[in-house]
Amino acid sequence: MHSIERLQQAINTQLQQHTARQQLRTLAANHFAQAGWLDLNHNDYLGLRYQRDWQTRVWQRCQELPIGAGGSRLLGGEFAIFQQLEQQFASFKNAPRALFFPSGYAANSACVPALAKALPHAQFFSDQLNHASLIDGFRLAKIPAAQKHIYPHLNYTALEQALSQSRAEVNIIITESLFSMDGDTCDLTRLDALAQRYRGLLLIDEAHAVGVCGNDGSGLIAAHHLDHEQLISVNTCGKALGSSGAFVCGATWFIDYLINTARHFIYTTAPSPWLAIALQEAMAHIQDQPQPRQHLVILAQTLREKLRAAGFDIGTSDSHIIVLLATDAEQALRWAEQLAAEKISVGAIRPPTVAVPRLRLSLHAALDDVQIERLLAALHKTRVAAR
């Protein structure tokens, strides 16, 4: 047997196991922007992607710059617009400085090793449900098991107990501010107090909060009045900012350190300068228009109340991400299929991404009350069909 055939055989066996566990992943082109579909499967929380105004403003400015950066930021791919954008984003977050990464995955995976490299004896504390990119950061940093503590999701009593036992000079606490697969939010005020009490330093992933949460739309750090001089945040642009990329915000010297040591920043082509234009316009939109995010808060609250009242198990969701917990992967898939038959697109999230299979309803600001009623009616029908 040729080596390539041996490889194919090994891979087929593994993919068959994925299929048997109802976990086979396949790609399907998104057709949900078409008329009639209710798309609750994307993270474009402000509905910016398809907004004509935004597209036009970006398009008009694109002629100023090339599409491709032509190199890494440190080798041939640096443009003034990146530094302008970083300054604008830092001031939006009320942070000393920001650094633009090609993706949130890269930014998270870079920050954990940077912290571990700077402080090899630090103790790390990570929420059990933190995103894969943070977990991969741990893997890359090769942090010894004794220096890593995974605390139960949002359980700050358990976290405090673990912190109180730490002898490390610095305790690094890592969390998402709004959890992507549960839609619940962390108590940043309490985490900040714990950090102050136990020599802590917070690394906060604002992926699902930036652009939507807080009065100014900058996220939950500002909403909780935390001092951005004392922490590090990661802010992805592929969700409410409607495009892609991510900003790490933190002290000037931390950003300098990333520029000098973060392999995800150094050894990769800089993001497209067109993306930088898109993000400048996205930020202007967020700063000028509070109404869409205010509408989203009310819409999500109303839907959560109605779902709870109707007896759906929405877990601990308290945001624009609302989950419906299922008994098993098969049920989650069946629900998603039944909703698709009603032209409603939702994600069926299954292990290994989450422990308990679920539907993930990702609400966005373009939704109205009529669409929410349509969703509720379809969910009732799905439940009746399951009986």
Ligand X SMILES: Cc1ncc(COP(=O)(O)O)c(C=O)c1O
| Neighbour-count burial of 55, counting CB atoms closer than 10 A to its CB (0-12 exposed, 13-18 middle, 19+ buried) | middle
Residues 286, 46 contacting (CB under 8 angstroms): yes
Q: Which is nearer to ligand X, 51 or 109 (CB)?
A: 109
Site for ligand X in 309-328 (CB under 6 A): none
Nearest-approach distance from CB 124 to ligand X, in angstroms: 17
Nearest-approach distance from CB 133 to ligand X, in angstroms: 5
Site for ligand X in 31-70 (CB under 6 A): none
Q: Which is nearer to ligand X, 140 or 193 (CB)?
A: 140
Nearest-approach distance from CB 373 to ligand X, in angstroms: 29
> Is residue 272 a contact point for ligand X (CB under 6 A)?
no
Residues 41, 51, 108, 362: which binds ligand X (CB under 6 A)?
108
Task: Compose the 128-147 pattern: x for residues touching ligand X by CB under 6 A, - for all others.
Answer: ---x-x--------------
Q: Which residues contact 180 (CB under 8 A, 6 or more apart)?
A: 131, 207, 208, 321
Nearest-approach distance from CB 161 to ligand X, in angstroms: 26
> Is residue 246 a contact point for ligand X (CB under 6 A)?
yes
Segment interacting with ligand X, rule: CB under 6 A, options 102-110, 139-147, 215-223, 272-280? 102-110
CA 342 to chain centroid: 28
> Is residue 205 a contact point for ligand X (CB under 6 A)?
yes
Structure tokens of 255?
Answer: 């950003």
Q: Which residues contact 190 (CB under 8 A, 6 or more apart)?
A: 156
Q: Which is nearer to ligand X, 186 or 378 (CB)?
A: 186
Nearest-approach distance from CB 377 to ligand X, in angstroms: 29
Residues 41, 147, 166, 180: which binds ligand X (CB under 6 A)?
180
Residues 238, 257, 343, 374: which binds ligand X (CB under 6 A)?
238
Nearest-approach distance from CB 205 to ligand X, in angstroms: 5
Q: Which is nearer to ligand X, 182 or 281 (CB)?
A: 182
Distances (CA, A) of 239 to 49, 210, 294: 10, 8, 17
Residue nearest to ligand X (CB): 104
Residues 127, 176, 182, 184: which binds ligand X (CB under 6 A)?
176
Residues 77, 104, 211, 292: which binds ligand X (CB under 6 A)?
104
Q: Which is nearer to ligand X, 270 or 379 (CB)?
A: 270
Q: Which is nearer to ligand X, 218 or 236 (CB)?
A: 236
Q: How many chain residues bind ligand X (CB under 6 A)? A: 15
Segment interacting with ligand X, rule: CB under 6 A, options 99-107, 255-263, 283-291, 362-370? 99-107
Q: Which is nearer to ligand X, 239 or 293 (CB)?
A: 239
- Closest listed residue to residue 254, CA positions, set 371, 107, 132: 107
Which residues in this chain contact ligand X in the complex, by CB under 6 A? 103-105, 108, 131, 133, 176, 180, 205, 207-208, 236, 238, 244, 246
